Amino acid sequence: MSHQAVVTLILAGLVAIAFGLFWWVDTYSDRIFAKRFRTRFPEKTLSYTAEQLGGLVTSDLRMKYVCPILFPLDLIVMLALAGAMGAASSYWLVQTYPSAAWLGLLVPAVYLLSDLIEDCLLAWLLLRGDPKAAARSVSTLKAITTIKLAGISAAVVVTVLSLLVWLLRSPPPITIA
């Protein structure tokens, strides 16, 4: 097996592990939220009201949301996803279109930064426990979440496309003797 094939398998494995971690944290946090809310709506959807966010910031779940869900679990997930997809897509792009390798780093970085900002704003609102502050922050939080959702979607697309381009433009990565 060539060096590029080994690196590709490792990077693809890291991306798969990151998405497995994402799934595990999502499942874990949904079990906590099922007691009071159907899901972690501020991070997953844009269809919630100021009243719903106000209910969350005054709920008995607010401290569990801040720790361990937002920090450290969601932080670990966002670092794993952005890091794995950034490393993988930039590696594959360097092999095929070196001038586009920056894209493999920039798109996951946009996701990472927006997710981190979203988590910090949510943690601030939850720690403050003020439904009026939450109501004033709904449009800002939704805008940040929109950027995050677009960023993660774009990072997945860039990662998959860069792998496909690498596979199609490279000689067969696995040689059988």
Determine the pLDDT at residue 38: 80
Determine the pLDDT at residue 171: 62
What is the domain partition of the chain in residue ranges? Answer: 3-169
Mind listing the pLDDT tens digit for each residue in 134-150?
Answer: 999 999 999 999 999 99
Residue ranges in the chain modelled with pLDDT below 50 = none
Determine the pLDDT at residue 154: 98
Alpha carbons within 13 A on the beta-carbon side of 146 = 8
pTM of the complete model: 0.93
Determine the pLDDT at residue 174: 58
Reference 147, options 126, 165, 121; nearest CA is: 121
Determine the pLDDT at residue 39: 86
